[in-house]
Amino acid sequence: MDKKLIDLFIKNAITEDLGDGDHTSMSTIPAGTTGKAKLLVKEDGILAGIELALEIFKQVDSTLQTEVFLNDGAEVKYGDIAFTVSGSSHSILLAERLVLNCMQRMSGIATKTNHVVQLLSPYQTKILDTRKTTPGMRYLEKWAVRIGGGVNHRIGLYDMILIKDNHVDYAGGISNAITAANQYLAANGKKLEIEIEVRNLEELSQVLNTGKVNRIMLDNFSFADLKQAVKLIDHQFTTEASGGITEENITEYAACGVDFISMGALTHSVKSLDMSLKAY
């Protein structure tokens, strides 16, 4: 867990929710009231966000006491209790929605990712996430992908050079883009991997002739062309398939022999896992 990022996220999220006070709790529950609550799982899936929830409780009120029964990555079913929390009722209610929003979203992502990982188990292909994430929650969503058994692609624009179709078009062609990227890295003393997206076998041929990249993204290829592309690359570079890939067709892509498959759907349209924080 990146403590600096998490601290900033929690601070901003609480500020957004709290405003000038939780007037419902302050008006209905006497100050100093204590209570207990349990995190109740209401849907089968993969649990994610426990470590984050504990940090949220800690930052909301360091006197809150938690007891954890299930950890991140655990398979859960309806009726499971992930943890209990006890202490100030006002503090529990302040943390409640932030904990649930994060855990439900993260568990939904982990559950979907794990399902895809299981589909790919007969193959050597690994599943990647993308930058199609919720603004402000990218770290959490990519964390959830890892909990579900997936692999993180680049985190942002800063940790890899990914030359996509628009970059190629603006740069005046594939060779120009690759050459400029390598010159930039050398001039700035940076050591970043270079990946380039290709849209067809002709563009792939240009990349193979130019070289000087680490990974080739094969975007929206037909199965026949994808198989041919993997054969042409012949392990010279890491391969990644992308574009139009779903749970229904992902095994067909994996059967083409690519090293990675990227799926924006792991994060951009996932269904949250149902759970609640109930007083008892």
Say if residue 108 is in the same domain as residue 123. no
Q: What is the mean pLDDT of residues 253-262?
A: 98
Res. 1 pLDDT band, cuts 50 70 90: confident
Tell me if 266 sits within 8 A of 150, measured CB to CB.
yes
Instruction: Count Cα atoms within 13 angstroms, Cβ side, for 101.
Output: 13
Are residues 79 and 176 part of one domain? no
DSSP state letters, 69-97: SS-TT-EE-TT-EEEEEEEEHHHHHHHHH
Instruction: Based on the fold, state whether residues 98 and 237 are members of the same structural domain.
Output: no
Confidence of residue 253 (pLDDT cuts 50, 70, 90): very high
Same domain, residue pair 86 and 136: no
Tell me: do 89 and 194 sit in the same domain: no
Asked whether residue 262 carries a pLDDT value surpassing 90, the answer given is yes
- Chain centre to alpha carbon of residue 261: 14
Would you say residue 147 has pLDDT above 90? yes
Pairing assessment for the beta strands 34-41 and 275-279 based on DSSP bridges: antiparallel
The stretch 167-171 carries a mean pLDDT of: 96
What are the residues whose beta carbons fall under 8 Å from the beta carbon of 147, sequence distance 6 or more?
46, 48, 72, 73, 106, 110, 113
> Which CATH number covers residue 51?
3.90.1170.20
Statement to judge: residues 107 and 175 lie in one domain: no
How many domains, the chain? 2
pTM metric for this prediction: 0.94
The average confidence (pLDDT) of the chain is 97
Would you state the pLDDT for residue 83?
98
Question: For the segment 31-75, what is each residue's pLDDT rounded down to a tens digit?
Answer: 999 999 999 999 999 999 999 999 999 999 999 999 999 999 999
Question: What integer pLDDT is reported at residue 38 of this predicted model?
Answer: 98
CATH assignment at residue 148: 3.20.20.70
Q: How far apart are CA 189 and CA 150, in angstroms?
A: 31
Query: Are 260 and 127 in a shared domain?
Result: yes
Residues 55 and 73 in one domain: yes
Q: What is the pLDDT of residues 79-120, one digit of tens each?
A: 999 999 999 999 999 999 999 999 999 999 999 999 999 999
Both 138 and 106 in a single domain? no
Contact 75, 111 (CB under 8 A): no
Q: Residues annotated as binding site for substrate?
A: 97, 130-132, 154, 164, 197, 219, 242-244, 263-265
Q: What percent of the chain has pLDDT over 90?
A: 99
Let me know: does 192 contact 160? Beta carbons within 8 Å: yes
Model pLDDT, residue 141: 98
- Structural domain boundaries, residue 135: 117-266
Are 80 and 38 in contact by the 8 Å Cβ rule? The answer is no
Same domain, 257 and 133: yes
What does each C-alpha distance from 19 to 11, 12, 29, 179 come to in angstroms? 12, 11, 19, 51
201-210 vs 223-233: helix crossing angle, rounded to 10: 10
Q: How confident is the model at residue 273 (pLDDT cuts 50, 70, 90)?
A: very high
**Residues 202, 72: one domain?**
no
Rg of the chain in Å (alpha carbons): 23
Residue 15 pLDDT more than 90?
Answer: yes
Catalytic residue list:
97, 132, 164, 197, 219
Same-domain pairing of 152 and 98: no
Q: Give per-residue pLDDT as tens, 218-248.
A: 999 999 999 999 999 999 999 999 998 999 9
